[in-house]
Each structure stands twice: as C-alpha cells, then as structure tokens.
Structure 1
Amino acid sequence: MGIRDFADYLGISDRAISNWEAGGESYRPRAASQSVLDTGLARAPDEARARFADALGVSGPGPSAAAEMSVDSHKFLPVFIGSDRAHRLRTQMTGETPPDWLESCSAIVAHPHAPTCTLHVFACGVVVFHILQPRKPASLTELAVWRYRSYASDLPWARAKIHDLLGEHHPHGPNPEYVLSLYWLTAGPWIGSQYDTAMRLLSTPSVLVDRSAPGGPVPLDGAVEESLLATGFDHPDIVSFGVRGVSTGYAGWSGVSYAALSQERSLTVEELVSCELIVQALWCYTHHIQQRIEEGSDPSTPDRYGWRFLRAANSRLTTARAQETAQHCLMREAIMRTSGLAERLRAAQEALRESMG
C-alpha cells in the first residue's frame, strides 16, 4: 500500500504520513495521531495485523512466557444502599474523585484475604467493593474453583462490612447479590493457540467447574481443561476486544480477561478497573429499579438521578469520545455488550418516566 492509499485508509493527508516517515524510528506521533493509527490497526484484516505484530517482534504467546501462571484477580461487588446512605458515607471519606458525571468517593477497607480492598461510594446510591488478589494457580481449573469458592465468603463479608460502616444491623439491610471478576494476566505457560484459548477460559471459567456439587464448587476432571486447551474453546457470549500484537482481551457475562503484549500501547489496568466500576455501579442501580418494578411498586429516585441521569449515562457509555483510543472503545463496547447494561439503562429510563405520570 502506497503513501496515498494508506492516507486514504486512515482518513488523513499524505503529508502527515510523509512527516512520520521523515521523523525516523525515534519519531512518536501525537496522541490524536496514535488514536487514528490504533483505529486503522483495529480495522485491518487479521493477516495485516499479524504482519504488523511480526514486524514489531511482539507476536509471541503472551505478556511473559513462564512455567507457571500469574494473574491479578480483581473482584467487583456492588451493593445498592440509596443516595441518603451514600451521602452519609461520603461525608466520612477524604478520597473524593475530581468532579465528574458519576460522582464518587473511595477509601481503603480491610479484607481478610486480600492485600488491597477499596470501597467506592457513588453519589447515586451504590457502593462497589474492589478486591485485588494476586494469584499463582497451578491451573485454570484451580483458579476457577478458588474464584467460585471465594465468592461464597466474599458476599457475606461485604454485607457485614457495609452494615458496620452504616451502623445498621438488621436482616433487611443492603445486600450484595453478585461478584464480577476481571483477570489481568501477567504470565502463563501456554503457547500458540492454547494461549488464546486460556484467555477465553479465564473470562468464562464455569466450564471447568461443577458448581452444583453438594459441598460447593469442585473441579471437573483435569482432562477437561487439557481437552479444551488442545481443541480450542469458544462461546457465543464471549466478545474479543484485544488488538493483535498489542493485547489480548475477552469479555463475557461473568468476567473479563486481559493481557498486555505491548506495555506502551495496550490498555492500563486502571482503565479496565475504571470502566468496570462505572458499569457495575450503573448495573446495580438499574437492577434496583427493576426489582422495585417486579415487586409491584413504582420506582422512585432523587430527581438528580432520575431518567435524565440514566439517559446521559447511556449516551456516555455507548458513544465514542473524541479523544478515546480504538482500544478503549473496543473495551467499552465489549463490556457494555456482555453486561447488557445498555438495555437495562433504556428500560430503567422508561420505567422512571412512566412513574412520573
């Protein structure tokens, strides 16, 4: 592809590309230009992206080929507490974020099995526990079993913690109902197609576990994991948001997995965590509205967090931003699609508008 054709493909002038070439290997395009290039790479056919990865020398199996797996487990436990309770908690916190459309404060809280646990309190009435736990499991199956077993203890812990923080102890108080996991892979033993399959399994680990066992989740026969790694695994609900040669990322209904192949060009863990915090806070908020409807009641929210707030949230999460990179856009779209949040936001908007008469 010549300079003019490449310029047409990117939607920029051929002079800009000539300037890039004149700058040599040390030249670094500005952020806006890098975003254009990321978008062009994301649109390119697999063969072209593979050649690009080979040219960079980053077409290997993953972030770090190692004899054992190393992964950072990020768990998100949202709880609806209402805007009044959220205001009470926020007045006790000092870690307030800069003014934004979704106001929040955060504070570190002690967790019995995690080195770091942060409580995020959103002004709309939702709190989200973010639990970080580095793991070095012997297998994907071992990690999957730990994941589901730890959920069984994390949920009652979060319930007790929020009750303590609120100074309320009664059976009908705020109650977390689910956990969403994000896995940031830092090293793994797989190569070739097995690496990609492993990342898919990280996002949808239920296929490796018997969750209906009488004593709690137990591992399936080890041959299941070996077979899936050998033959491949896919699921219609898994959505890829990686860029070949730069990152590998998958989003599913129950989790997200990500590995940075090129540290300088990939997403950061902070970007992934920030996106999930917003999505889980709004998912929990709309779930509360849905519950009120199913109980036969008209949902009621403060005017500030009514249907217009949800309309704005839907627009912000489904529309690309001017300075948003292609990778960030792919991540946001994948997480929104697999979470079903866009549909929930629209349904909650309609319910709140109807309740106003």
Structure 2
Amino acid sequence: MPTVQAWTGRETRALRQALRMSIRDFAEDLGVSERTVSKWEAGRDTVRPRPEMQAALDTALSRAAGEAAERFVAATSRTDLDDRVGARYQVQSHKLIPAYVGVSAAAKLAKQDGFHPRPHEWLEVSIAEVPHTEGTCTAHVFACGVVVLHLRQELHFRTLAALAAWRYASYEQDLPWAADQVARLLSPPPSSDHAAPEYVLSMYVLQEPAWTGAELETALRLMSLPSVLVNRRAHPSPKPVGDHVERRLLAQGFDQPSIQSFGVRGLSVGYASWAGMAYYALSPEQALAIDDLVSCEVDVQMLWAYCRHIQRQVEDGRDPAMPPEFGWRFLRAAHSRLTTARARETSQHCMMREAALSTSGLPERLMQAQAALHETAALSGRVDA
C-alpha cells in the first residue's frame, strides 16, 4: 500500500485523479469545500493541508482500490521527470468559427430536424449538435443570418509551445472542416449570397494547471497570445519554440499592450487578446462559469461575421442591403447592448465583456456597418438623410 510522508497540493491532485473523481465528489468524500480542494491543487508543492486533513487524505488513499493505487504511485513517481521537462496540464479548448449564410437560409436551418431554440436575451437563436471526430461541436444559427460553430476539445500538454503549435496545425484543418459543415447544413445551397468561414477564434479554459503564482499569470497571458511560442517560418509547418525560450518567458514574465486582463484577484485569472481568451478559475464556485465565457464570445463572433458581410459588400462597390429588421437600427441596438452594463450584471461579467469587445475591435466594426446601412437607407428614401 503506497504511503505519503506529507501531503501537498501535488499529491492531493494525484490522488483525486487516480480515484477518477471530480473536485466536487472528492471534496464531499473528504468533508471539505470545493474551494479548499481547488486551493490545494492550485498551490501544488507550496500548500500543505492541516494535520486533520493529512489524516483524512491518508484514509482516502488506504481505501483506494488496486488500480487506483497503482495510478497514484505512477503519477507521483513521475514528479522528478515532470519537474525537469514541464508538468502535464489540462486545458479545454473552445473554437468559435462564424460564417454568414443569409437570413432566409438561417430561417430554413432553424426549422430542420435536430435544431431547437436556445434562450437568448435579444435575438432568435437555434442550436444543433454537429459531428466531430476529436471533440463536440454545436452549431448556433442566428436569425440575422449567421452560423457560429462552437467546437470544444479536451487537451493535455506538457509545454505551452506544444499547445501553440497544435493551435496553428489544427486551424489548417478547422476552416475546411467548418466550410464543409456549413455547406452540409445548407444543402441544397441557398440562392442568397453566403460566405465560407474565414477565421477561427480560440478560448482556452485551464482546468489542471502546472504553474502557480506569477508563473500561472504568465502562462495564461501566453495562452491568450500563443504566436510568440511558435516559429511560423519553419518548413513545412510552424514548429514550437525550444523549451529554453518558454522557461525564460515563464521565469521573466511576459506581457503585451494588446493583452487585456479580466481576472479578479483571488477568484480567477483571465486574459484576452486579438488571438483569443485564456481563463482559469481559482475559485470555481465564485468565478465565471464556462457557459458565460462561451455565450459572450459566440455573440461577439456572430456580430463580427455579420459586420464582415456588410463590409464585403462595400468593398465590392455595392450599397450594402440587409433585411429591414436587421438593418442599421438592429446594429445600433446590438452596439448598445454589448457596450452598456446591465443592471444585474456582475463586475466579472462587465470586465469579461469589455475585454472581449476591445480586443476584437467589434465596436468600431459595428459603428462602420451601421453607418453604411444608414447611408443606404437614406439614399433609398427609407430614412431622413
């Protein structure tokens, strides 16, 4: 039977994972709060539970079945190796891939089998599951004519550079895959103009960290702007930078003016950049829920794609034309809803929304699209010039 001389956050996490238990179940088994377990694990070697909890953890380990005990021994015996090459961490990847399909096509999609309405504060939305071999995907179909594919994948890496390289490699597959899925959903193709997906936005939710303190903050900043960890000139595809580069960045710190913080001290660590978001809940029961983060980014990407369609018409030398119910007044209302705090909105939600908007450049796009549609309406005599 394995024994532990002194329990730290590292061994606590190893035991929970060996028992195949969630933080909630593990906390209930020990008779402590989820927050306590989260703090133990986040502190890794720097945190030692109180003596009575040391005894409770001894008891939990003694009750472990044969395979669970073997997993615990295997995990703790890798400690020295992990310290040398980088400890394994777990991250949940969320990719948002938007495409404009047109109002009529969106209305037809919403009526297809498998789609059902999703509650939304100010716009009609329907969702359906889309098959994916390496994750789960949900298609969000907005009444204004935009489809947003939300792809979620569970990942394990030892270095941040490995995640960054995976991001670049997977993007090359994500766009054609998303285009095929949109075409499949629209089959037969609609008569209205529609556009294939142009880009992928990522959000990473860190679930099992390998860092603490200042290194954790730096790791989240690097996740939000991972291009610095990739050699994009490498042939035939981008390669991760050497381990020494990552170690230096983690030790010395990393920041860029384009990165905006939206974390709350003691509750969460969150950063956003033009490349995406990165978030870790220090206190899961008090921090933002993953659904809140996803919902915000889905709305931002929907409006980005909508404005991009209007911009494309302008650049093609056409007066942009959209259905009256989704014209310049619709964009004015969307701009107000996204940039004005709600009465019951928490400070965390405000900070997240402001970070997502400012780094995406969406407010400026909304104003430009609104002005273009207003000018077209004025020329056609539908509004005063």
Short-chain TM bin: 0.7 to 0.9
Q: Are 2:338 and 2:353, in contact at CA under 8 Å, matched by a contact in 1? A: yes
Distance in 2 of aligned mates of 1:59 and 1:97:
32
Question: SS state of the match for residue 157, structure 2?
Answer: coil
Contact 2:100 2:194 in 1 (8 A): no
Aligned match of 1:351: 372
Bigger RCO (CA 8 Å, 6+ sep): 1
Q: CA deviation at 1:168?
A: 4.2
1:312 and 2:333 are equivalent in the alignment: yes
Asked if the contact 1:62–1:195 (Cα under 8 Å) also holds between the matched residues in 2, the reply is no
Match for residue 182 of structure 2?
A: 162
What is the TM-score normalised by the length of structure 1? 0.80
| Structure 1 position 223, deviation (Å) | 1.6
Report the equivalent of 2:137. Answer: 117
Alignment match, 1:134: 154
Query: 3-state DSSP class of the match of 1:136?
Result: strand
SS at match of 1:216: coil
CA separation of 1:95 and 1:272: change in aligned 2, threshold 3 A? same
Partner Cα distance (1:78, 1:109) in 2: 14
How many angstroms does 1:97 deviate by? 1.6
| Counterpart position of 1:176 | 197
Rate the CA distance shift 1:117–1:324 in 2: closer, same or farther, 3 A: same
Q: 1:184 to 1:63 in 2, by over 3 A?
A: farther
| Structure 1 residues 235 and 158: alpha-carbon distance in aligned structure 2, compared to 1, 3 A threshold | same
Listed as ranges, the gaps of 5+ residues in structure 2 are 1-34, 46-86, 380-385
Larger radius of gyration: 2
Q: 1:168-207 to 2 correspondence within 5 Å? A: 168=188, 174-207=195-228
Q: Which residue of 2 aligns with 1:10?
A: none
Distance 1:64 1:165, change over 3 A: farther
What's the Cα RMSD here? Answer: 2.1
Equivalent of 1:212 in 228, 233, 238: 233
Which residue of structure 1 lines up, in the alignment, with residue 93 of structure 2? 73
Aligned residues: 300
**Residues 1:301 and 2:322 are matched in the alignment:** yes
Q: Percent identity?
A: 52
How far off its partner does 1:320 sit?
A: 0.5
Mean Cα deviation higher: 242-251 or 61-70 = 61-70
- Is the Cα–Cα contact under 8 Å of residues 220 and 278 in structure 2 kept in the other structure? yes
* Structure 1: segments with no counterpart, 5+ residues: 1-55
2: CA distance between counterparts of 1:128 and 1:118? Answer: 8
* Aligned-partner residue type, residue 89 of structure 2: M
Tell me how far 1:295 sits from its aligned partner.
1.2
For the residues of structure 1 that align with 2:180 and 2:288, how far apart are their CA atoms? 34
Q: Residue 307 and residue 62 in structure 1: after superposition, are their counterparts in 2 closer, same or farther (change >3 A)?
A: farther
> How far apart are the structure 2 equivalents of 1:168 and 1:235?
46
Deviations 1:154-205 (A, max 9, x none): 10011011111211479x9631110000101011121221111001001000
